[in-house]
Every structure is written in structure tokens, then in C-alpha cells.
A and B are shown apart, each in its own frame.
Chain A
């Protein structure tokens, strides 16, 4: 605090920088959720693209975000930018013969990734399908709500970001605010996204979600272990998506994403595609595997299979 005061003290001198700052603050205040901390508004307004930041730049940004979130949520928040691990490319398996459609994954994901509770944002959409029709999206039931699952004659197909090898969403972004990382995870820089939603139009899996209003995230439920490209709190007006829990899998190699961890029937598999000993490689090599919308040549790294 004293630091900021001393910086703001010679406020009578109307330098050009000050004026710009004022302009930026007004512009920023129109769109940003909080109107306090004018210095932080200024800094976030002119923040560079994640991949163009130098190490010290990035450190400063992470610092600022930690302070900002700490103040908003009243707890110590960690914002990391852990880089990818060499020799790792993540792959995901989903056993359709096991999934019972309980949606525990959906809500574990929401808790882990700090999604908005009001309005609700879900990275995972579980579809209820007819066994007779097979994978027929036109007849999928999105809002099934019986007292008990699974229901007779149905099977369940969870859909989330397929982390495509050839992602149509990143190609269309007019400002390169979204890209595929070296470990195959498709990420968004929430501070660079302009919210045009072209990526949402381009995604064949409905994996991208927009913050139509300021995300409603209760402080008590906020997960303070975050990643810059992952589960840190999002501002209004930007797109977000599943990142295979980047904050977990990069920080603690070998740790599972929240959805894998919570699945009560073990329908979800996760691992390194480049490791011949990994479970995901075993699944791909030994089970009947398919990918969704293969004809679009998106080459998902999300494999559906039937184990039994």
C-alpha cells in the first residue's frame, strides 16, 4: 500500500503518461468487473500476449493476478505458469461400456477448475443415447434427469474438449489468443481473448464456453491452486475450455485430472501417449477405439472405447 501511495503522490503533474492512464482506466472500468485498483487496471489493459512475455514480465503478471485474486476471494491464491514437460503428450480414454451417466465428473470438474456456478459453465457434457441407435448425436438427450442412472436401454457418452492434434478452433482465432501447447493441451489466454466466439463456431465438439456474464464463483468454493492457462478465475466476456486440468498434470507429473479421479466406475483413463507403458497406450492398442467425428480430420486425442 505505501508503495502505491508514493507512486500516486505527484498526482498534480498531468503528464502524458498520466493522461493515458486515465483514458485506459475509463476504458477498462467500462468492461472490468472491479473499479478499484487503477494501477492494476492499467497493467492488465496493456498486458502482453502470454507467449510474448519475458520471464520477468510473466513473474510480474502472475504476482499481480495472485494479489488480485487473493483480495477478491480472501485467501492465498497461487497462480503458476508451469511449462510443459518434455516427452509428454497427453491422451484421454473414455470407456463407454462402463460410464453410467452419473455426472460426478461434470461437477468435480466445476469444483477443480473454478467454473462459474451462476450461470453454470460445464466443460463436460454427458449425452444419454439409445442403445438401439448407437452414437447418434441428433437423438442425444442432453438434460436427462431420472432419479437413478443408468437407465435401461441407454448408454452415456461424456463429451469435453478433445484436445485435437489439428484443432479447428485455434486456426480461426483472429488474435492467436488460443493455441495448442507442446504437450497437446489447447489453451486460452483469458487476458488476450477478445470474445468474438469464432472458436466456438469452429469447434465440432461444443467444448468451448463463453462467460456471458461475470462468473459467479463463491469465495468459499474457489480452488486456490491455479495455472495461468487453466483454472485461474476468468473475467467476463472471454472463452474458456477444458485443459485436462493443466494445473494438476503439469505441476505434479502423473496426477490425474479431476474427472478421471472422481469417476466411480473407472471409465476414464489418462496418460502420456508417448510412453509405451502407459495405460492410455494399452487401451488404444488393445481395445476397440473410436474418435468422434473422424471425418473432420481434427485428430482428437480423446479416445472412446468399449472395454467389455
Chain B
């Protein structure tokens, strides 16, 4: 019987994701086209080798790993939002938790894809599976990362699916099951990001990464980028669906971002002071990043853009008037997302390798193929998140549930993305 119920639910979700408004179809097909382009670019890369990227021996990690690092932060922070949701007792805790968990799942999928496209022998992925292959655990931080990222992915998927499956069956999720898992997902979120920071941090050969401030900085900046995305998402969701998210929650998240951004900027400042004042040979990478080194300054305009974005967003979120104005709030979110993307992506990964360990300067800038593959993976992430939302939102609003026979799914919401006035009409009827 339970198998039949699960099958019914599964069949229902398949029907659900194939239904939607024109806007939904347009969005999904747009993503599918981008995914297709990404796949083609990846096939090209597979045929020719990683030589089609701009990575070389001097800079062996580039755009793919930069994106990976940034997205681990997004995945971690999406779940960390659960903490304030509980502390301040925001009304739709369940909704906020589910949306966060699903964002984490999508970001994790992207992370795993970015690692896959970066490695030279994806056909040997099975070497990483314990027992079947050899996972160098606990010695290699990369082995740690493989373990924690996968646990985190499974954990978030479990919580989200469990809550949704129960709501679909019109019963409250069992708190004694969800609460411990939700609480466990918080240290798990912290740990995936810490481990990813340690991946760089543990390399004595790379002074730019070998700074103990790296892990705290990772967490602080993650707490900016993930929630910035969530703020925009909350607004979209409450505009186009019947889920209500109170202003108070959104403004509180913005306020928390301001504090995190302050910590992030402070830690960065501490690092900059230490390197410039002590002026050792370890200053070179930071100089390359901030000023350019010996006429090589590809990264300089980007990092200063990021700095300006981050500082402006900090002030926008610090001042209550601009924080509670939706125009400035959304500008701030976009600034932070881009700012952290640059700072924690290329701004972190590239200077660790420039100048290289023997003092050579190789300026890295991604090739067209790298950009297309990256675009494809971002589209995949958004595609996954869209489908997850397509199922989750109707369940949360009670528009997708099990029928009286206990098996067949009932789909009330056939549109998904709807105009707000249409919604208003509906809520009058309620």
C-alpha cells in the first residue's frame, strides 16, 4: 500500500511539472535551451580535453572551481536562514525552511556538476566511492568535502521531501522527526562551508589561502549571498503564489545581511592590513588582486567592483529607511549577490595561484567554452529549483494533495506562475 501511495505521489508530481502557465513554459524552455548549449560545450571539452579552458599548470583551478566555492556558500546560507526563522518565530517557518532546503539542494547539484566538469577523468568518478574505489579519508580535505557535501545533499532532500510528502497527505509532519534533522542541518551547513574553506586553507604552498581567517570569512560572506537570493525569492513567491511571507521577516533577513557583511569586510580588512604592513613575499597575491603586479591587472577592476558593491549594499541594509524600501532593498540584494560572487569566486581562487609557486604570473580569464559550460550548469540549477518549487508551492498552499481514495493526486494549481490580480480574486473567494 505505501508503495502505491508513493507511486501516486510521484505520478502526480510528474503531471504537475508538465502543467503550468505560459510564463512557466517559457521560463522552463529557456532553461532547457541553455542546458542544451552547456551540454554541447561540455561534449566539446570532453573531446578536446581541458586545453579548451584557459587553465594551465600555473593556474590549475579556474572559473569552474570559483563557481563551486561560491555555490557551497549559497547552499550553506540558505539553510542557516532556518535559525532566525526559529529565533524570531516568523510565521511561515515551515515554508521558509522548505524553500531554503530546496535552494540548498539545487545549489548542491550545481556544486557537484562544477566539480564534475572540472576533473580530467570524470569516467573515474567511482574511484571516490569508499570500498569500490579508494576515498582518501580522513587525510584529504577533498575527501572530506565529498563526504560532507553528499551528506548535506541527502539531508536537505530528506527533510524537504518528508515535510512535503506529509503535507500532501494532509497531515502535519512529525515534529520529532523534522526538528532534530532541521537542527542537524544547521551545523551541517556550517561544516560544508568550513570544510570547503579548509580545502584551500590547508595548503602551505599558497600563502593567499593559507590564512586562518579564510574559514570565518567564508561563513560571513555566505551569510550575505544566500539570504540576498532568498529575499528576492520571497518577494517573487509571495507575489505569484498564495504563500504569504511577512515584511518583517524580509527586513530582518536584510538586517542580518548587514551584520554579516560588516564581519566579512572587517575580516578582509584585517587580512589586508596584515599583509601590507608586514610586507613579506606573501604580499604578492594580494597585490595582484588589489593593485595588479608587474603590469598584470586583469582582476583589479573586478575586485574593486565587488568592493564597491559590497560596501554600498552594507550601507543600504544598515539604514532602516533603505532596508525597508523595496527598490533599494532589491538593489542591495543584487549588489551583494554579484559582489560576493566576484569576491568569493575568482577573487579567491585565482590570486591563490598568481603568482604561482615559482613566481611566474599567468593571467587567467575563462574561455568561451568555460563560460558556456558554466551557463549550462547555472541553468541546470535554476531548472532543478524551478521544478522543486513547482511541486512544493502547490503543496504548501494546499493546491496539490492526495484525493479521497488515498492514492490519486488532485491538482488544483494548473498554472504555477500567475498574475497577482488573479490571485487577489481567488483570495476574495476564500
Instruction: Check A172 for interface membership: any CB of B closer than 8 A.
Output: yes
Which chain A positions have C-beta within 8 A of B61?
197, 201
Which chain A positions have C-beta within 8 A of B135?
174-175
Residue contact A45 to B123, C-beta cutoff 8 Å? yes
- Distance of A31 Cα from B357 Cα, bound (Å): 30
CB proximity of B149 to chain A, nearest CB, Å: 12
Which chain A positions have C-beta within 8 A of B136?
173-176
Instruction: Check A296 for interface membership: any CB of B closer than 8 A.
Output: yes
Number of interface residues of B (CB under 8 A): 50
Which chain A positions have C-beta within 8 A of B143?
174
- Distance of A52 Cα from B50 Cα, bound (Å): 29
Residue contact B128 to A296, C-beta cutoff 8 Å? no
User: With A174-B128, A212-B50 as given contacts, are A194 and B205 in contact (CB-CB < 8 Å)?
Assistant: no
Which chain A positions have C-beta within 8 A of B199?
198
- Distance of A172 Cα from B199 Cα, bound (Å): 9
- Distance of A198 Cα from B53 Cα, bound (Å): 17
- Distance of A125 Cα from B362 Cα, bound (Å): 15
Residue contact A174 to B48, C-beta cutoff 8 Å? no
Instruction: Check A96 for interface membership: any CB of B closer than 8 A.
Output: no
Segment of B10-18, B114-122, B259-267 engaged in the interface with chain A:
B114-122
Residue contact B358 to A31, C-beta cutoff 8 Å? no
Number of interface residues of A (CB under 8 A): 53
- Name B58's closest neighbour in chain A (CB-CB): A206
Residue contact A209 to B49, C-beta cutoff 8 Å? no
Residue contact B358 to A125, C-beta cutoff 8 Å? yes
Name the contact of B360 in the complex, choosing from A142, A195, A201, A208 (C-beta under 8 A). Answer: A142
Task: Name the residue in B58, B125, B127, B284 with the highest tally of chain A Cβ atoms < 10 Å from its Cβ.
Answer: B127
Residue contact A174 to B49, C-beta cutoff 8 Å? no
- Distance of A212 Cα from B362 Cα, bound (Å): 16
B195-220 CB mask vs A (1 if < 8 Å, else 0) is 00001101111100000000000000
Name the contact of A174 in the complex, choosing from B121, B140, B352, B357 (C-beta under 8 A). Answer: B140
Segment of A7-15, A107-115, A132-140 engaged in the interface with chain B:
A132-140
Residue contact A236 to B205, C-beta cutoff 8 Å? no
User: With A138-B355, A194-B125, A212-B51 as given contacts, are A174 and B142 in contact (CB-CB < 8 Å)?
Assistant: yes
Task: Name the residue in A142, A196, A211 with the highest tally of chain B Cβ atoms < 10 Å from its Cβ.
Answer: A196
Residue contact B357 to A205, C-beta cutoff 8 Å? yes
B48-84 CB mask vs A (1 if < 8 Å, else 0) is 1111010111101100000000000000000000000
Which chain B positions have C-beta within 8 A of A201?
60-61, 200, 203, 205-206, 352-353
User: With A140-B358, A142-B358, A200-B60 as given contacts, are A31 and B46 in contact (CB-CB < 8 Å)?
Assistant: yes
Residue contact A212 to B140, C-beta cutoff 8 Å? no
Instruction: Check B320 for interface membership: any CB of A closer than 8 A.
Output: no
Residue contact B357 to A196, C-beta cutoff 8 Å? no
Residue contact B50 to A237, C-beta cutoff 8 Å? yes
Which chain A positions have C-beta within 8 A of B118?
196
Which chain A positions have C-beta within 8 A of B205?
168, 201-204, 296
Residue contact B121 to A31, C-beta cutoff 8 Å? yes
B residues 129-168 near A (Cβ < 8 Å) are: 133-136, 139-143, 146
Which chain A positions have C-beta within 8 A of B356?
206
Residue contact B127 to A213, C-beta cutoff 8 Å? no
Residue contact B120 to A197, C-beta cutoff 8 Å? yes
Which chain A positions have C-beta within 8 A of B353?
201
- Distance of A140 Cα from B358 Cα, bound (Å): 8
- Distance of A297 Cα from B133 Cα, bound (Å): 31
User: With A140-B359, A172-B203, A201-B61 as given contacts, are A237 and B121 in contact (CB-CB < 8 Å)?
Assistant: yes
- Name A49's closest neighbour in chain B (CB-CB): B134
Which chain B positions have C-beta within 8 A of A142?
358-360
Instruction: Check A171 for interface membership: any CB of B closer than 8 A.
Output: yes
Which chain B positions have C-beta within 8 A of A206?
57-58, 356-358, 360
Residue contact B281 to A138, C-beta cutoff 8 Å? yes
- Name A192's closest neighbour in chain B (CB-CB): B127
Instruction: Check B429 for interface membership: any CB of A closer than 8 A.
Output: no
A174-206 CB mask vs B (1 if < 8 Å, else 0) is 111100000000000000111111101111111
Residue contact B57 to A200, C-beta cutoff 8 Å? yes
Task: Name the residue in A28, A52, A174, A194 with the highest tally of chain B Cβ atoms < 10 Å from its Cβ.
Answer: A174
Instruction: Check A238 for interface membership: any CB of B closer than 8 A.
Output: yes
- Name B136's closest neighbour in chain A (CB-CB): A176
CB proximity of A124 to chain B, nearest CB, Å: 12
Which chain B positions have C-beta within 8 A of A140?
358-360
Residue contact B204 to A211, C-beta cutoff 8 Å? no
Instruction: Check A214 for interface membership: any CB of B closer than 8 A.
Output: yes
Name the contact of A210 in the complex, choosing from B60, B122, B206, B358 (C-beta under 8 A). Answer: B60
Residue contact A159 to B358, C-beta cutoff 8 Å? yes
Q: Measuring CB to CB, which residues of chain A are less than 8 angstroms from any residue of chain B?
A: 27-28, 30-32, 45, 49, 52, 119, 125, 127, 137-140, 142, 159, 168, 171-177, 192-198, 200-206, 208-214, 235-239, 296-297
Q: A236-B49, A239-B120 are in contact. List 14 more A-B contacts (CB 8 A).
A: A119-B51, A137-B281, A137-B357, A168-B203, A168-B204, A175-B133, A175-B134, A194-B125, A197-B60, A203-B357, A206-B360, A212-B53, A213-B49, A237-B121
Q: Measuring CB to CB, which residues of chain B are less than 8 angstroms from any residue of chain A?
A: 46, 48-51, 53, 55-58, 60-61, 115, 118-125, 127-128, 133-136, 139-143, 146, 199-200, 202-206, 281, 284, 352-353, 355-360
> Can you sample 25 A-B contacts with CB below 8 Å?
A28-B123, A30-B123, A32-B123, A45-B123, A137-B281, A142-B359, A142-B360, A168-B204, A172-B202, A174-B135, A174-B143, A175-B127, A175-B133, A194-B119, A194-B121, A194-B124, A194-B125, A196-B120, A197-B60, A197-B120, A206-B58, A208-B57, A210-B120, A212-B55, A213-B49
